[in-house]
Structure 1
Amino acid sequence: MGRICLRLVLIVMLLLLVCFIYHKVQLAKEDELYQPIGVQVEVNNLTMSVYAEGEGKDTLVFLSGGGTCSPILDFKTLYSRLSDTYRIAVVEKLGYGFSEITEDTSKDIDSILEESREALRLAGVKGPYILSPHSMSGIEAVYWAQKYPEEVKAIIGLDMAVPEIYEDYPIPMNMLKLTSFAAEIGLTRWIPGVSERDAIKYGTLSEKEKELYRVIFYRRTVTADMLREFKSVKSNAQFVSEREMPDIPMLLFVSNGEDTGWDEEKWKSYPKEFISQLSEGQLIELDCAHYIHNIEYERIEVEIRQYLKEICD
């Protein structure tokens, strides 16, 4: 039995080595495709990616959910429908998209926010902003409005997480670490359909953009930065929830809870309670999964245009 187990271990190690070598070869081949979209700026001597388009008088800043490998492409289906009227920008946090991966940068909420603000400043994207966060970035958006109310004109939440969600939410760190390891050695390349994210399946990306999304996926799946961000989210959410609610207009689009880890009733209860505390809050329920901006983008576009006409004109 000992010899059999040893042989099995050696076979597994050999297969993992072959997988890793194949992954590195593929990454080298894909280098030509992995060309930054937008601009690269240096924030604290680290490279961050910012994409902007459109020339409207109001600026929408899209902030991605935790673990979204390519924020620029993930939001493209929606922002490309709005940039004829509004200035739009997408910030890719460290470890995401075309931004640099780091091993030890802090992921406390102040560090995350200041990096986003500085990246926008260096990219020439001026406020005040209409923040459009998805999922985990809802924490950053609320804190932005708390700390710098003069910079935030409104928040349009794309199934954003409110701070209270994380009070009872178990962060599956062991599973996330395992996924990170699988991505690092290239095991994800052997899982059928794993790179076909909602932006590819439901959005309006071109074939070339879909190919680029896949290339980014194999480089930016549960990076070291993402792991530290997940690990810090509970303390960040608690810190934000203990501060005063920001007094700004908010429009929250809410999904049916699919792909969030919550059932529909529980998932919707958090933003409903959150929005009830605001004097200028609206909520729109959508019957679709978590990445609403890639699924119900047509309705969201119409609702955003109507909402901004009401609060900005």
Structure 2
Amino acid sequence: MRKMKRVVKVIFVVIVAVLMLLLIICINHQIHLKMEKELRLPLGQMVEVDGNNMSIYVEGTGDTTLVFMSGGGTCSPILDFKSLYSLLSNKYQIVVVEKFGYGFSDVVDKKRGIESILADTRAALKAAGIEAPYILCPHSMSGIEALYWAQQYPEEVLAIIGLDMVVPKSYQDYSINMTMLKLSQFASAIGITRLLPGVSDSDAIINGTLSNKEKEIYRAVFYNRTATITMLNEVKSIKENASKVESDNMPQIPMLLFVSNGDGTSWDKETWRSYQREYIANIANSKIIELDCPHYVHDYEYKAISESIIAFLLER
């Protein structure tokens, strides 16, 4: 009996200690969030969509509008794409739409069916006065949205420039680890991520051309926009969204796909590249460029990609 009481006491002490530690971590997180408030002031403009605020960034001028669309979980799309679009904004109008749950946009808990995601993006562009047609530049998961856009509103999409974007077949055998994602959400919400060295140093920070100030802003956004409920809802719906796109006709518009070596995706190099090769083989006026770099290609090969984009658009 005494031994059992001792065990119970130890367990109780451990639980209390863990709860106290989590409380201290959470308080520290809240203090830092307040300190970082000015760093999280929107870099672009905020527009109202469905009763909430969405962030949209515009740079440059020109008759051609390039709309950059972030991959799943990219906490700061505006800064993530900066190394690339800063090399293009002297020729084209650059637009970055930050979906709900990303960057400076509001976090909302609602279903993320492909129809809803696209409706939000189009509404944000309309509210900001950015008129179609567009050249869509999706990274990773946003490839599904871009293809759906071209299927549903072909008059609005002149071409697609894929930045290691996914195609519908990529998700046929894709396994989603929601438990791990929810753990990431919990760790981010209470501030455990602040204790992990280098976790906020994204490819954009390490390999891109961000200034020291922009790196500070990126980190501040990271600690406030990682594994949000909106992002998790998006991941939950991705297989169904991809299936809807796959069941429709392939959009026959010019496409330029930049494809990575698979590092940073859930697939090996050859499998990852085979998805894009097979998809684009059925589309006229298309081109694929394979790059020997990880998934966030625009943070590694931004100069080469910008030059290829300019050449591609000149050929149109």
Identity among equivalent pairs (%): 56
Distance, in Å, in 2 between the alignment partners of 1:3 and 1:79 is 59
Per-residue Cα deviation, 1:273-294 (whole angstroms, up to 9, x for no partner)? 1001111211000000000000
Structure 2 residue aligned with 1:308: 313
Distance, in Å, in 2 between the alignment partners of 1:141 and 1:32 is 33
Structure 1 residue aligned with 2:10: 4
* 3-state SS of paired residue (2:159): strand
* 3-state SS of paired residue (1:88): strand
Letter in 1 for 2:186: F
Distance, in Å, in 1 between the alignment partners of 2:46 and 2:179 is 33
Higher-Rg structure is 2
What does 1:140-151 align with in structure 2 at a 5 Å threshold? Answer: 140-151=145-156
Per-residue Cα deviation, 1:17-56 (whole angstroms, up to 9, x for no partner)? 1000110011011112211011100011110000001111
| 1:45 is aligned to 2:51 | yes
> Which segment drifts farther, 122-131 or 182-191?
122-131
* Structure 2 gap ranges (5+): 1-6
Structure 2 residue aligned with 1:287: 292
Structure 2 residue aligned with 1:201: 206
Letter in 2 for 1:216: V
Structure 2 residue aligned with 1:70: 76
Structure 1 residue aligned with 2:4: none
| 1:156 is aligned to 2:195 | no
Distance, in Å, in 2 between the alignment partners of 1:98 and 1:141 is 21
Q: CA deviation at 1:245?
A: 0.4
Letter in 2 for 1:140: E
What does 1:38-117 align with in structure 2 at a 5 Å threshold? Answer: 38-103=44-109, 105-117=110-122
Per-residue Cα deviation, 1:88-133 (whole angstroms, up to 9, x for no partner)? 1000000000000112x22000000010001011111111000000
* 3-state SS of paired residue (1:304): helix
Q: CA deviation at 1:244?
A: 0.4
Distance, in Å, in 2 between the alignment partners of 1:158 and 1:72 is 15
Distance, in Å, in 2 between the alignment partners of 1:82 and 1:112 is 26
Specify which of 269, 279, 283 is matched with residue 274 of structure 1. 279
Q: CA deviation at 1:172?
A: 1.3
Structure 1 residue aligned with 2:171: 166
* 3-state SS of paired residue (1:135): coil
Q: CA deviation at 1:297?
A: 0.5
Specify which of 16, 26, 45 is matched with residue 20 of structure 1. 26
Letter in 1 for 2:268: D
| 1:214 is aligned to 2:190 | no
Letter in 2 for 1:232: S
Specify which of 228, 231, 245 is matched with residue 226 of structure 1. 231
* 3-state SS of paired residue (1:205): coil
Per-residue Cα deviation, 1:45-85 (whole angstroms, up to 9, x for no partner)? 11000000111111000000000000000001100100000
| 1:192 is aligned to 2:206 | no
* 3-state SS of paired residue (1:33): helix
| 1:258 is aligned to 2:263 | yes
TM norm structure 1: 0.98
Distance, in Å, in 1 between the alignment partners of 2:283 and 2:215 is 39
Structure 2 residue aligned with 1:131: 136
* Structure 1 gap ranges (5+): none
Q: CA deviation at 1:186?
A: 0.2
Q: CA deviation at 1:2?
A: 2.1
* 3-state SS of paired residue (2:46): strand
TM norm structure 2: 0.97
Distance, in Å, in 1 between the alignment partners of 2:261 and 2:179 is 26
Letter in 2 for 1:100: D
Letter in 2 for 1:34: R
